Amino acid sequence: DSLAKSFAGLARNAERNKASIAVSKEPLEEPPLKIHTLGNRALRKTARRISKVDESIRELAKDMLRSMYSAKGIGLAAPQVGVEKQILVIDLDLENPTNPPLILINPEIVSASTSLEKYEEGCLSIPEVYMDIIRPSTVKISFRDEMGRPKKMNADGLMGRCIQHEIDHLNGVLFVDRVSNHEELDLALKEHGFLSKDVHSI
Ligand code: ZN
C-alpha cells in the first residue's frame, strides 16, 4: 500500500514537473503581459533574487512565455514586462510545439570563456534593431529551475548568447549598451523610432 502510494506520488510529481510550464506556443491576440520598449524606465531596474519558487512564480513564467511566443521571441526577462524579479524564459525552438522552454531563476554566470564571439543580437524591447555584439563564446551558469531545484549548465552558441543577453536584462543592461559603433547604432535606432539618449553605453 505504501509502495503504491509512493508510486502514485512519483507519477504525480512527474506529471507536475512536465506540466508545470507547458503553455501553447501559438501567438495570442492579447498576450497577458506588455513588453516594454527602449526608453521605458522598467528596463533599467535591477531585478531582485527570488527567495521562494512557488506557484506564483510558475504562473509568472507561463505568462512570460505566452507573451514571448506571441511576440515571436526566443528569450524574455522579467524586467521587460515590468517585474523586478530574477527570472528568464528561453525557447530556441519556436517551431516545435513539444520542445520544452527553459526557465532560469536567479541565474548567475559562474565563469565565462576567454574566447569571444561576434553574433547578431536583437531584443523584443528594441524591435527590428539588430546589431553585432561581442561576448564570451561559452558561459557556465548556475540557476534554479521552475521547481526550485539548483542546476548548473554550460551554454555556447545561440543558447550561450541568449542567456548572456537575458542576464544583462536582470541588471538593467540592454544589448545596445554594448555596441561600440555608435554611428551605426544611432542610424538603426532612428530608423525604428528609438532615441540614442536612451542607450547607456558601457
Ligand atoms: Zn532583450
Query: So what's the pLDDT on residue 8?
Result: 72
Query: So what's the pLDDT on residue 22?
Result: 81
Average pLDDT, the chain: 93
| Ligand 1 center–CA 11 separation, angstroms | 37
Report DSSP letters for 120-141, one per residue. Answer: EE--TTSTT--EEEEEESEEEE
Query: So what's the pLDDT on residue 1?
Result: 65
Query: So what's the pLDDT on residue 21?
Result: 83
80 to 35, 46, 148, 164: CA distances (angstroms): 5, 11, 22, 15
Q: Are 134 and 117 a contacting pair, CB within 8 Å?
A: yes
Q: The pTM is what?
A: 0.90
| 77: helix, strand or coil | strand
| Ligand 1 center–CA 173 separation, angstroms | 9
The predicted-structure confidence for 132-184, as pLDDT tens digits, reads as follows: 999 999 999 999 999 999 999 999 999 999 999 999 999 999 999 999 999 99
161 to 49, 78, 92, 135, 177: CA distances (angstroms): 22, 18, 11, 8, 15
Query: So what's the pLDDT on residue 16?
Result: 54
Residue 67: closest CA among 95, 41, 89, 40: 89
Q: Which of 26, 166, 183, 184 is catalytic?
A: 166
92 to 76, 99, 107, 192: CA distances (angstroms): 12, 9, 18, 25
| Ligand 1 center–CA 22 separation, angstroms | 22
Query: So what's the pLDDT on residue 14?
Result: 59
| Ligand 1 center–CA 122 separation, angstroms | 7
Please say if 121 is a catalytic residue. Answer: no
Residue 165: closest CA among 98, 96, 104, 101: 104
- Round the CA-based radius of gyration of the chain to a whole number and report it: 18
| Ligand 1 center–CA 110 separation, angstroms | 21
The predicted-structure confidence for 28-68, as pLDDT tens digits, reads as follows: 999 999 999 999 999 999 999 999 999 999 999 999 999 99
pLDDT of 7 over the 90 cut = no
Residue 112: closest CA among 82, 142, 75, 151: 142
| Ligand 1 center–CA 108 separation, angstroms | 17
